[in-house]
Structure 1
Amino acid sequence: MERFLSTWFVSSVALAFAALLLGSRMTIGDGDETTLNRVLALAVVGLVFTVVHELVGSFVKLISLPFIVLTLGLLLVVINACLLLLTEWITTQFGVEFMVDGFGWALLAGIVISVCQSILSAIVR
């Protein structure tokens, strides 16, 4: 449980940093919301991203392992972008404002999130 909570926290902070870095190309929460509502939206998006990454991501990475090896790991960037877009779709179904402006921006956001998660995980653990 402690690992899941730390992963959720790290994912939320990484998503916030990516949204800050990418500006209007990736947004979490509506711009007119209060700070509390934006933090809650970030927590929900972080939770959904963590669950999607742990469940769906693990399965997809296992299935595509030969292709990941063949592409020297570059397929992982595409998989992370797809998981981010899946997170966007799921959160909008729950009425949480989360938007990524296309697949190219999802690729860039996936790279930023992965780097942030690596750095923060080393600090948190």
Structure 2
Amino acid sequence: MGFLKGLLIRLGSTAVAFWLATLIIPGIDLSAQTTGETVVTVIGIAIIFGLVNAVLQPIIKFVGCGLYLLTLGLIALVVNGLLLMLTSWIGERLDLPFHVDGFWPAVLGALFVSVVTWILGAILDRD
């Protein structure tokens, strides 16, 4: 039960972070018409982002470990921004009304989503 609870907390906090990012960061758009469509969209985007990160992040870190060392980890901001752009592209192919307009909104959005997810996870995951 602990694994499932942690997974649901992470999914929920990531979905809330994406929803907040669409409200705060210009260039990240959510064009859902109803509240239900908004909820389904942010949960879908959170799932896609989680899968993209789970599959590609370890490969990217392994291949680009020299860049991570050289930039003291700052390249992770660029990588997370590109992964958010990939998530947006996949979401558009699945007809989810979520779009990231460019590289800088993606980098800012990825940073924002990471921080908000971390904060919400720390608050909600209390045993």
On whether the aligned pair clears a TM of 0.5, the verdict is: yes
Q: What is the total number of aligned residue pairs between the two structures? A: 122
Between the aligned partners of 1:122 and 1:41, the Cα distance in structure 2 is 24
CA positional deviation for 1:58: 2.5
Residue 8, structure 1, aligned to residue 15, structure 2: no
1:115 is paired with a residue of what secondary structure? helix
Corresponding position of 1:91: 91
Give the percent of matched residue pairs that are identical in Structure 1 and Structure 2.
30
Q: Distance in 1 between matches of 2:66 and 2:12?
A: 31
Q: TM (normalized to structure 2)?
A: 0.87
Structure 2 unaligned segments of length 5 or more: list them.
none
1:57/1:28 Cα in 2 relative to 1: closer, same or farther (>3 Å)? farther
Alignment of 1:82-121 (within 5 A): 82-121=82-121
Q: List alignment gaps of at least 5 residues for structure 1.
A: none
Per the alignment, in what secondary structure is the counterpart of residue 99 of structure 1? strand
Aligned to 1:26: 28
Do 1:7 and 1:50's aligned partners in 2 also have CA atoms closer than 8 Å? Answer: no
Contact kept in structure 2, 1:29 and 1:41, CA below 8 Å? no
1:17: Cα distance to partner?
Answer: 1.3
Spell out structure 1 runs of 4+ moving beyond 4 A.
none
| Aligned-partner SS, 1:116 | helix
Question: Normalising by structure 1, what TM-score?
Answer: 0.88
Q: CA RMSD in A?
A: 1.4
1:50-74 CA-partner distances (Å, limit 9, x unpaired): 1111111222123222211210111
Question: Could you say if the C-alpha distance between residues 122 and 62 of structure 1 is closer, same or farther in structure 2, counting changes exceeding 3 Å?
Answer: farther
